[in-house]
Amino acid sequence: MQAQQPAVGILKSQDFGDSKSYKVSCECGSNDCIHDIYIEADEYAITVHISTRQTTSYWESIVDEHRAIKNRFLEKQWYTIARWINGIYNRARITWHVWVKGYATYESTTLLNQQQALNYAETLRQAIEDVDKIRSDRVKKFQHAPDSQS
């Protein structure tokens, strides 16, 4: 299997020469699990920043929202009350964790199929090579510049 050009699942969002950024989409197609990659070079190093949108386990519930009630009106009332209770509980739980532990627990998952993973690796490798070449050229140019203090 070969890396693709253009790469499936990877979108180049910006290219400034010494820095590039990409968006990597999830196999599921949801925008909630996209992550961004930002590769940049300066005189000293090449850095790769990978950021994701973090989510909490907000979907967990303590009250069953979908209870089979024969009366349609009461079923809707139950659903509304259960959603309200679950929402308050989850907000309180997340806030409590921040107060007690000092942080909230988050999770993020991006699913890549085999082709996307190969494209991801190749894109990252190529971007690092590109910004490294520009960084090296800049450092050489700076080192060979005439000293203006003489």
Q: How far apart are CA 107 and CA 87, in angstroms?
A: 19
Judge whether 39 and 20 are in contact, CB under 8 Å: yes
Number of structural domains (the chain) is 2
Q: How far apart are CA 49 and CA 37, in angstroms?
A: 6
Coil/strand/helix, residue 39: strand
Residues 46 and 20 in one domain: yes
Judge whether 127 and 13 are in contact, CB under 8 Å: no
Domain region containing 81: 60-105
Residue 5 counted as domain residue: no
Residues 51 and 17 in one domain: yes
Residue 4 counted as domain residue: no
pLDDT of residue 84: 92
Residue 40 counted as domain residue: yes
Q: And the tokens for 127?
A: 């971007």
pLDDT of residue 81: 92
Mean pLDDT by 10-residue block, N- to C-terminus, for the chain (150 residues)? Answer: 74 87 82 83 82 72 80 88 90 88 76 81 87 84 66
Residues 15 and 89 in one domain: no
pLDDT of residue 3: 73
Residues 51 and 14 in one domain: yes
Residues 91 and 115 in one domain: no
Give CA angle at 53 (49, 57), nearest 5°: 135
Q: How far apart are CA 37 and CA 23, in angstroms?
A: 6
pLDDT of residue 149: 55
